Structure 1
């Protein structure tokens, strides 16, 4: 089970994600860092464990097409051995390919942002990237054809349930299992709702490869010893 910490970044700072209500996200307050400055928060997370990958939701990129370039450069410079899975609202194949060329960045193509299923079809086998299937309620955000074409998905697929983010309600197990059934040999990652190690053990038992986690790391419900054990 791969544990991937999450940094939600808006306006140059890390914010606390809460059930996809992005308009009301506020700068994070965490015992892991003295401020909400992204490098400081990432350092706090890395003090828990040397995570090989960190997921970034660049909300300015997703919502307004203005990625936090200075923040991204600072993070990749500070952690040169870390892969940053970056969702910055990539819409086209050109944007995804350009992002893949950046040092330390693994582009995340989110279904809510991508302009058409043909972008995903084009990228198949061309670049190393992560696909995020983004759900709000029961609806897939983005091209509906995408959920019906697992043969064009990359090796890593995130199942993002926005209303579960920061909710403490537990992961969206039924949907994760359904996606896992059609994903073949691909690695499926849970995003949203993970509360504690017990949730991760259940996910691992269902063949889920990893989970994106923020709140449970900051609150201490998943700590260093548990991270090592579950990893």
Structure 2
């Protein structure tokens, strides 16, 4: 099981995400880091466990309110050769890669992607990760992204915003359905992971990995637990 810690950044600080209510996000307080500065948080996470990647959501960029590129570049340098998965609110695949470090992979969120038939996405699927974004009201984005598996790259995140940071557990029925349709692609759960039991349930559902934040910061997924389960 691949575990990818999440850092949400707003106005230069790492923040604690709660149920996708971005207006309510506050600077992150965690025993893993002395500050909410994103590079400090990244160092704390990598000290907890040698993760292969960190997921960064640039909330300002997603909402069209500027970006946090300087902090993201610093995080990428801090954790290299581990990778950064960056959701920067990109509307097109081609706008995403030119100014990013070599160890940054681009997340294209269904919430913000302008065209499902993105030529760059089809040409080089290894560079991109698709995030299928869900609110309480349903899927966010062009319905074809959800229904047409041929549009998916090799890595697909299932982002259930209403379950982020609230301890409800992952959306297993939805994840199981998408994993069954994925035709060998790696599916990652985002939102709701609380414990080792949740990770085992995800594995049984055919999910390759999970994006996790709160359970790492509050110690429910400890260094010992991560090592014991062989987290990547």
TM-score normalised by the shorter chain: which range applies?
Answer: over 0.9
Stretch deviating more after TM superposition (214-223 or 198-207): 198-207
In the alignment, which of 107, 126, 143 is matched to residue 124 of structure 2? 126
Contact between 1:137 and 1:163, CA under 8 Å: does it hold in 2? yes
Question: Residue 176 of structure 1: SS of its match in structure 2?
Answer: helix
Structure 1 residue 159 corresponds to structure 2 residue 158: yes
Tell me the equivalent position of 1:16: 16
TM-score of the superposed pair, with normalisation by structure 1: 0.95
Tell me the equivalent position of 1:218: 217
Structure 1 residue 104 corresponds to structure 2 residue 111: no
Tell me the equivalent position of 1:81: 81
Shift of 1:97: 4.4
Tell me the equivalent position of 1:50: 50
Shift of 1:73: 1.6
Q: Quick one: distance in 2 between partners of 1:165 and 1:11? A: 20
Stretch deviating more after TM superposition (73-82 or 16-25): 73-82
Q: Quick one: distance in 1 between partners of 2:60 and 2:167? A: 25
Q: Quick one: distance in 1 between partners of 2:96 and 2:77? A: 21
How many equivalent residue pairs? 229
TM-score of the superposed pair, with normalisation by structure 2: 0.95
Per-residue deviation, residues 101-154 of structure 1 (Å, max 9, x unmatched): 6321100000000012122x6412425110000000251101111111101200
Per-residue deviation, residues 52-103 of structure 1 (Å, max 9, x unmatched): 100001101101152211101211222221100000001013213436x632
Contact between 1:60 and 1:68, CA under 8 Å: does it hold in 2? yes
Per-residue deviation, residues 148-200 of structure 1 (Å, max 9, x unmatched): 11012001000000000001000010100111111010000000000111000
Contact between 1:65 and 1:89, CA under 8 Å: does it hold in 2? no
Contact between 2:42 and 2:78, CA under 8 Å: does it hold in 1? no
Q: Quick one: distance in 2 between partners of 1:124 and 1:92? A: 12
Cα RMSD between the aligned structures?
1.4
